[in-house]
Amino acid sequence: MSKKLGIISIIIIIAVAIIAVFPYITLDPENSRVALDVNFPLHYMVLTSHIALALVALISGLFQFHVRFRTNYPAWHRALGRIYVFSIMLSGCLGLVLSFYAENFTKAMAFLVLSVLWLITTWNGFRFAVKGQLAQHRIWMMRSYAVTLVAVSARVVVPICILLYLAMHGFHLSEGGREQMVAEILNINVWFGLIINLVVVEWYLLRWMK
């Protein structure tokens, strides 16, 4: 990846992260973009904890793949790596809980699969680091960060999904069509983001391992 493309990617990641987290800064449940289950009093607390820890993982993970940083500051690399793994272990477990309180089955399965993959890829990356198998460690951490970045890609693909939806409906929506469009897109954007990220990282790994 070129330096210019890397900087642009970092800017996009940080910008999308800020937009995603902003409604939760006030800790006001009324601002939640996720429908809260009244039968689960801890829903908002679990949600905000999950988001905060995911943000920690997103930011700490940004530094882990920079070769110069990894080489020149190995102690920082290890410290941030531990923070990355710890935040994902907690956030991933909270994500599993949240999947059972999603608005519908499609979203529930998306968050369930996402959380399971997040935990598995991260644990494998950590396990290989402990064993000193650094090549496998890097491979699994790339996969882990690809899953972490679904928080970004799932939002970035929304405009693309809107264009596709409108094109498939002849760029004409009937009354109530806009609300239906938004609801349907928000049901599949996580799946869309996850598939794109996994395809990209596996394509990169295949090229890297040749």
The per-residue pLDDT for 140 is: 97
Nearest residue to 185 (alpha-carbon basis) of 200, 165, 201, 169: 165
Residue 124: which H helix or E strand, with range?
helix 105-131
Rounded to whole angstroms, the Cα distance separating 145 from 57 reads 9
pLDDT, one tens digit per residue, over 131-164 is: 999 999 999 999 999 999 999 999 999 999 999 9
pLDDT, one tens digit per residue, over 161-175 is: 999 999 988 888 888
Please provide the size of the chain in residues: 210
Global pTM value = 0.91
b/e code 62-92 from CB counts within 10 Å (16+ = b): bebeeeeebeeeeeebeebbeebbbbbbbbb
Rounded to whole angstroms, the Cα distance separating 131 from 111 reads 30
Angle between helix 105-131 and 177-209 (nearest 10): 20
